[in-house]
Amino acid sequence: MLKRNIPEKTIQRLLLYYRYLNFLGQQGTKNISSKSLADLMEIRDSQVRKDLSYFGRLGKRGSGYDVMALRDKIADILGIAGESKVCIVGMGSLGSALAAYKGFGALGFKIVSVFDNSKQKVGRKIRGHICHDIDKLNKIVPRDDIDIAILTVPAEAANETAIKLEQSGIKAILNFTPVKLSLSKKVKISNVDLAMELKTLSFFIR
């Protein structure tokens, strides 16, 4: 169970630790020191030890951390040990690309449904998934036990669609639209503004 007093920055780093440890485990690495893990993350090894110290003694002096055991412990701490079911709403170029991404499965996420309101897309198979009408969210989200939605609809449809997602029972939204969504605090929202990220990069390279 995740303790409530853990800083959000620590939670974000734990997710990155999990990602690196999962990769290292797949490559056959058995043990890793806090220094080596810190080097991968480009942070101080004292920060790694501090982050992990919130959850008791996880490593052994002299031999570091068992990669797979630490990965599984972090998954248990974060509550991501099981598979999370995800839907994508908005099957344009970005939504279709995300539906085809193979990396979700390695991190415990499964795309189970995709949605759009275009008559040209509804009923068709897109990236291996039958595209459902957005108006079916209320039926399909609870039926398929979906917790997370990836929102990639046009900006003008973002809030209306997000409200439908909340009403369907979605608990979290990864929002790729540039719109600030107006939902209750029951729904966790994470915003990804690709255009702004590119503008930020453009600023630094100039």
Please tell me the distance from the alpha carbon of residue 83 to that of residue 106, in angstroms, as a whole number: 10
pLDDT of residue 61: 62
Percent of the chain with pLDDT over 70: 94
Q: Tell me the per-residue pLDDT of 24-76, one tens digit each, with 9 for 90 and over.
A: 988 899 999 889 999 988 999 899 888 888 777 665 665 688 899 888 888 88
pLDDT of residue 41: 87
Q: Tell me the per-residue pLDDT of 75-119, one tens digit each, with 9 for 90 and over.
A: 887 777 778 899 999 999 999 999 999 888 877 789 999 999 999
If you classify domain 8-78 with CATH, what class do you get? mainly alpha
pLDDT of residue 75: 85
pLDDT of residue 62: 59
Q: Tell me the per-residue pLDDT of 110-165, one tens digit each, with 9 for 90 and over.
A: 999 999 999 999 999 999 999 999 999 999 999 999 999 999 999 999 999 999 99
If you classify domain 84-197 with CATH, what class do you get? alpha beta
H-helix segments, 57-193: 67-78, 93-100, 103-106, 137-143, 158-168
First to last CA, the chain: 45
Q: What is the pTM of this model?
A: 0.75
List Cβ<8 Å contacts ≥24 apart for 69-73.
70/17, 70/21, 70/32, 71/18, 71/21, 71/22, 71/25
Specify the DSSP class assigned to residue 140: H
- Measured in whole angstroms, how far is the alpha carbon of residue 106 from the centre of its chain? 12
* Residue extents of the structural domains in the chain: 8-78, 84-197
191 contacts: CB under 8 Å, gap ≥ 6: 175, 180
Half-sphere exposure of 139 (CA within 13 A, CB side): 6
